[in-house]
Structure formats: C-alpha cells, structure tokens
C-alpha cells in the first residue's frame, strides 16, 4: 500500500528564516505523482505543486523550492525567507492511480508551520 | 478561489440523522473526489466520480453514498450519523481522471451532536 510520512508534526521559526518540510513516500508503482498542498487557517486546501516520478529536476517558484530524490523516496519542500503569511499546515500527497483512470490522493499527516514575527 | 464550490459551509445535526453535501466542480472538470478530514484520521479519500460514473472507492462507510449528476455536480449523502462522523468534508475536481492535480473546494464542516 502507498504511504506518505511527514515526520515533522509542528515547526516554528522566526520570520525570514529558511525552513524545510520533509516528505517521505512509499509506493510500488513506477509511475506516480507527488503533490504539495497548503491549508491556511481559513481551512481550504491550496494546490502548490505536482511532480511526476520521471522528473527529478528540482523546482523553484519564488521563495518556494522542491527537492525530489527518488533514491531516498523523498520530496522535500523549502521556504526561503519565510513570512508570517506562510503559516499554515502543509500536506504532501502521493497519487495512486488504478484501472480506468481511478485516482486517489494519499496524504501525509501534515506539518503545521508557524512563522513568528 | 479554486473554482470548486461546496454547500453548505457548516452543518450541525444530531446523531441518527441524514445530511447531503453538495459540490460543483470547476468548469470543464469531469472528475469529482470526496475527502474527509478529521483530527484522528487526517485527510482520507472517500470516493471518485468521473463523468457520472464511480471510478475509485476509498475508506467510505456503507452509511455514506455519493453520486455525480449529468451536470457534473456531485452530492455526498451521510446517513445514520454518529459523533465520529464530525469532520471537514472536502470536494475536489480535476480535468481528467489520471494524475491531474486536484483542486479543492472550501469544505463543509459537519458537526454531529
């Protein structure tokens, strides 16, 4: 069965610090997708990134960057120069695809990130 | 705003009752997914529909059922409610039915008293 582990339950840093959120996954599939979602205090889930299993290039989007390492089954997320608005719960997820396009996201338990001013 | 709408935003009901949660996907999306978020279980996949047909089933209780209508909106029916069903229920949609990113609605917070 597929599994996503976010070992860091809570992280608290001071504004402008860099912070890395860890994500480790387990799957037997050779083709899969990984995702990060943000859940701010308002409660909605906001899509951040999708990465497929064949593309190990790191990705950067503004202050956000993602490091995908297939060898260690990890897909870590770094926020550079953190801001108070980055405070949220962050979820890593793995896409499990079955027959006829059946798809479900398997989520980690989430990491609650608090950025203190 | 993801473009996915869910109603109602909050729902308070009693044990044993039945409720219906409604979801309208983003324009053009054919797949609808339902997830449950609770403190003890985290975010759990319930069920997926694609263009009106059930595609995938997760840990959905027999007391729960869903459907997707011809206009692509979906409803999640929860019956014989128990205290443990209190949770945030999310609907998500995606363009196709494989590997696409899923866009989530704002959720319906269900409280069973």
pLDDT for the residue numbered B1: 84
pLDDT for the residue numbered B98: 62
Using one digit for the tens of pLDDT, what is the confidence trace for A68-88?
Answer: 999 999 999 999 999 999 999
Q: Which of B33, B45, B50 sits opposite A101 (nearest CB)?
A: B50
pLDDT for the residue numbered A13: 97
Using one digit for the tens of pLDDT, what is the confidence trace for B47-67?
Answer: 999 999 999 899 899 999 999
pLDDT for the residue numbered B97: 58
Q: Please determine, for residue B21, whether its predicted confidence score (pLDDT) is greater than 70.
A: yes
pLDDT for the residue numbered B12: 98
Triad A46, A51, A52: Cα angle to 5°: 140
Contact A43 B88 (CB under 8 A): yes
Count of CB atoms situated within 10 Å of the CB of B37: 20
Arithmetic mean of pLDDT over chain A: 93
Tell me the CA end-to-end span of chain A in Å, nearest whole number.
Answer: 41
Cα separation values, B16 from A110, B25, B78, B81, B112, Å: 31, 29, 10, 5, 9
pLDDT for the residue numbered A57: 84
Contact B99 A107 (CB under 8 A): no
pLDDT for the residue numbered B96: 72
Average of pLDDT values for A40-58?
A: 90
From the CA of A75, how many Å to the nearest CA of chain B? 16
Q: What percent of chain B has pLDDT over 90?
A: 87
Q: Which of A97, A105, A110 sits opposite B102 (nearest CB)?
A: A105
What single-letter DSSP state applies at residue B37? E
From the CA of B102, how many Å to the nearest CA of chain A? 8
20-49 in chain B: CB under 8 A from chain A: 31, 33, 35, 42-45, 48
pLDDT band at residue B2 using 50, 70 and 90 as cut-offs: confident
Q: Please determine, for residue A100, whether its predicted confidence score (pLDDT) is greater than 80.
A: no
Instruction: Name chain B contacts of A46, Cβ cutoff 8 Å.
Output: 2, 104
């Amino acid at each position: 069965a597929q599994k996503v582990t976010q070992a860091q339950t809570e992280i608290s840093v001071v504004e402008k610090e860099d912070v890395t959120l860890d994500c480790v996954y387990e799957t037997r599939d050779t083709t899969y997708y990984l995702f990060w979602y943000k859940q701010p205090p308002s409660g909605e889930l906001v899509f951040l990134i999708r990465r497929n299993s064949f593309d190990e290039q790191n990705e950067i989007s503004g202050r956000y960057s993602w490091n995908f390492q297939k060898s260690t089954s990890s897909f870590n997320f770094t926020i550079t120069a953190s801001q108070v608005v980055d405070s949220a719960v962050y979820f890593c997820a793995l896409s499990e695809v079955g027959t006829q396009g059946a798809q479900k996201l398997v989520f980690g338990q989430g990491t609650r990130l608090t950025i203190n001013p | 705003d993801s473009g996915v709408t869910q109603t109602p935003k909050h729902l308070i009901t009693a044990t044993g009752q039945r409720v219906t949660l409604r979801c309208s996907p983003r324009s053009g999306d054919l797949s609808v997914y339902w997830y449950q978020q609770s403190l003890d279980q985290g975010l759990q996949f319930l069920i997926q529909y694609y263009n009106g047909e059930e595609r995938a089933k997760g840990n959905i209780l027999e007391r729960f059922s869903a459907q997707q209508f011809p206009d692509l909106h979906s409803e999640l029916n929860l019956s014989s409610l128990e205290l443990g069903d209190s949770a945030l229920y999310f609907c998500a949609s995606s363009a196709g039915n494989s590997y696409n990113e899923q866009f989530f609605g704002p959720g319906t917070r269900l409280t069973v008293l």
